[in-house]
Amino acid sequence: MADMIAVSVGVGCEMSLRVESKRVTWRILTGHGFESLKNLSCRTCYCNPSGLTGIMAVVRSNSIDANSEGHTMGGGAYVDGGNGCGYDMDLTGFNIDFPIAGVSTPESLPLYSKPRPTYTLPEHPMGSKRELKVIFVGMGASGINFAYQLQQQTELVELQIYEKNDQLGGTWYENRYPGCACDIPSVGYQFSWATQSTWSHYYAGAKEILAYFRKVANEHKLLKYAKFNHEVVGAEWEETEGLWKVSIRRHGNPADVFVDYAHFFIHGGGLLNDWKWPSIPGLTSFKGTLLHSADWNEAADLQRKRVCVIGTGSSGVQIIPSIVDDVDHLYVASRSPLWITSGFASRFASSDGTNFAYPPEMQKQFEQDPDYYLHYRKAIEIELNKGFKSNLTGTPEALKAKEFSKTHMAKALAKKPELIEKMIPQTFDFGCRRPTPGNGFLEALVMDKTTVLSEQIAAIVPNGIRLQSGETIEVGVIVCATGFDTSYRPRYPIYARGRNLQNEFELEPSTYLSLAAPEVPNYFIVQGAYSPITQGSVLPAIEVYTNYFLQVIKKVQAENIKSMQPSRRACEEFIAHADEFIKHTAWVGKCASWFKAGQSNKPMVWPGSRVHSLSTLERPRFEDYEIEYLGPNRFSYLGNGFHVREYDGRDTTWYYGLLGGKDIQPEDFDLGPFDRLHRS
């Protein structure tokens, strides 16, 4: 298409200039008759040539001079006027072309010196969508939400979820240890699109949460997207095809590996799914019962046994009070102190901040009055969101939280004052490690049947543990509550453009807004490095991640895009900002924390509050992405000049608002009693 430039010529005549390949086209827009083209300036731009029409003249010195020959057009005559030309006819609607002489040609301009590929106008209307496929790793909370939202928001997108376990649930399927529960209020640990009013307790147990996920997946028919006992073991971006080549192992059999392909590859396996044994010499020599919190044997018998629990992180804090009454004697090996708090949003818990069972009448109120239930959930969420300031160094909220926890712990440990110095952190502030709600934990430590070891374990021996002093303690059961590999290094090789993300993420993971990797096309991560994991329920964040991914997928689907990737500069600038913010938080303290990752042991969490993170991730910043298109023209998605809305039955006047809230083309309008006015 040619550029159109509006100009005024002579008296009472508006024209537009369209300059094509070596031709200047004047089109009369309004008025008629002009007396002179003298002093008319001309500008040039490139476009495809069109046929010759109209009256000829020569362009010299940026003005129109008459040619020596006269030409006729539409019954009028071109008159040699020397330095001008005149007409005595109405030229409105005619095209008048002038060959260019004495000015730069398009080929001589740098802007147009490059060869241009042939472009063919697409035959499809704007809004047409091509078929895409997505491979998603993991059928925990992230996979369930992604399947539901994709099912609701997209069309022509095939989804395949691969889950290494034999059923859904992720963390809540794998963690079945005694006392396993969510430390976030249950009404906040659910999807916004599948709220449940029948939670049994303020803080729900693992089995109830798993049952919730199963119910949601079944009710919304989401299991059809998942293949279980299928573990992703590698992925590689194929540049030519614009596809991810993903290797999957079936049923743990190294000989049974197949390949699947997709346009998008999304990792939703989470952080808490790669558990590890402690690196203590002699672990395999133990002759008693060896358990891990993430691989619990529910048939294990702890009754009247001498038991050693190694680790006092989140799982250890829940296991210890749950088993202390059953065992003969409990030994606790704690490598580092921790801040114990009351439960999150404890203002709405029982009077002493502990868990409580919802009475039937309260559950009934939730069910019968949705607004009441929503207001209740929002009040709890507001309480959670307020806690962010306690992570900022030197704030009144941080000092208050530290003092409150310190006082609470000292009071609970008063029966064994020697534990106060051992268990209460002295070298790092509240929030450096994730604060741990510990209902009953401190009380279990001061029981007569509990011994908190004063020195580290040097080795595991066949009949128990050996301390660094050389003392051996006989135990029949060892519980390793030593957690997970919480590094952001992928569990399998991911190759893209000559790079393996395993190598890049081992030292210091680099992400874009926690959800993508620099210069890795069509790849996303749910809760990668720098994700908002320090505050509240993870489920709202999962929903925001999913909506973000789907916005990108729908753009690729509708705009003829081959691949999208965040630029390296965008990633570097995000991390520079995040690292600067983190300097002013408790997370930089000298503590062992899963907020820190990589060999650099640097904190990698979202640089802001929960509200800040969810707001940031609501919509993609496409200006941060490098985009490669399938064809030579990025505007090919504009299609044939029509929109699919004009064919698929949707409202073509949606911009006026929708009748009854439905995007459906209105039927012919009946004027009713006013029809007579229309007919007249």
Q: Name the one residue in this structure whose structure tokens are 């009247």.
A: 304
Dist CA 233 CA 181 (whole Å): 30
Query: Is there a domain that residue 125 lies in?
Result: no
For residues 512 and 576, the answer to whether their CB atoms sit within 8 Å is: no
Q: What is the largest CA-CA distance in the chain?
A: 118
Domain coverage including residue 611: 132-274+486-629
How many domains are there within the chain? 4
Lookup: tokens for 179: 């006392």
Same domain? 499 vs 616:
yes
3-state secondary structure 249-269: EECCCCCCEEEEEECEEEECC
Give SS3 for 318.
helix
Same domain? 302 vs 436:
yes
Residue 496's nearest CA partner among 132, 245, 259 is 245
- Which pLDDT score is estimated for 596? 80
Helix ranges (DSSP H) in 242-324:
314-323
pLDDT in tens, 555-593: 999 999 999 999 999 999 999 999 999 999 999 998 888
Q: Cα 472 vs. chain centroid, distance in angstroms?
A: 50
Same domain? 317 vs 454:
yes
Query: Is there a domain that residue 374 lies in?
Result: no
Same domain? 27 vs 81:
yes
- Which pLDDT score is estimated for 15? 39
Same domain? 64 vs 80:
yes
Give SS3 for 472.
strand
Same domain? 579 vs 500:
yes
User: Which conformational region is residue 579 in: left (phi greater than 0), alpha (psi within -120 to 50 degrees), or beta?
Assistant: alpha
pLDDT in tens, 113-139: 455 668 899 999 999 999 999 999 999
Strands, E, within 469-613: which ranges?
A: 472-474, 477-480, 494-496, 499-500, 523-525, 561-566, 596-597, 602-603
CA end-to-end distance (rounded Å), the chain: 44
For residues 521 and 496, the answer to whether their CB atoms sit within 8 Å is: yes
- Which pLDDT score is estimated for 614? 97
3-state secondary structure 537-559: CCHHHHHHHHHHHHHHHHHHHHC
Lookup: tokens for 354: 């502990």
Same domain? 320 vs 172:
no
Query: Is there a domain that residue 308 lies in?
Result: yes
Residue 522's nearest CA partner among 149, 168, 157 is 157
- Which pLDDT score is estimated for 215? 98
Q: Cα 188 vs. chain centroid, distance in angstroms?
A: 20
For residues 355 and 343, the answer to whether their CB atoms sit within 8 Å is: yes
Strand partners, 628: 563
Same domain? 32 vs 56:
yes
Query: Is there a domain that residue 228 lies in?
Result: yes
Same domain? 600 vs 614:
yes
pTM above 0.85, yes or no: no
- Which pLDDT score is estimated for 76? 33
- Which pLDDT score is estimated for 115? 58
Lookup: tokens for 570: 């965008």
Residue 561: which CATH number?
Answer: 3.50.50.60
Query: Is there a domain that residue 636 lies in?
Result: no
Same domain? 600 vs 511:
yes
| Burial of 634 per CB tally in 10 Å (0-12, 13-18, 19+) | middle
In this prediction, the residues of the chain whose per-residue pLDDT falls under 70 are 1-117, 597-600, 678-680
Query: Is there a domain that residue 122 lies in?
Result: no
| Integer Rg of the chain from CA | 35
Same domain? 312 vs 419:
yes
Dist CA 530 CA 595 (whole Å): 9
End position of a domain, from candidates 412, 447, 480:
480
Strand partners, 157: 132
Same domain? 548 vs 606:
yes
Strand partners, 461: 464
Dist CA 534 CA 339 (whole Å): 14
Element (H, E) at 657: none
Q: β-pairing, 58-60 with 523-525?
A: unpaired
Query: Is there a domain that residue 613 lies in?
Result: yes
How many angstroms separate the Cα of 20 from the Cα of each of 1, 7, 30, 62, 414? Answer: 9, 17, 22, 16, 90
Q: Hey, what's the torsion of the CAs at 9, 12, 18, 23, to 10 degrees?
A: -50
Q: Hey, how many other C-beta atoms are within 10 angstroms of the C-beta on 652?
A: 12
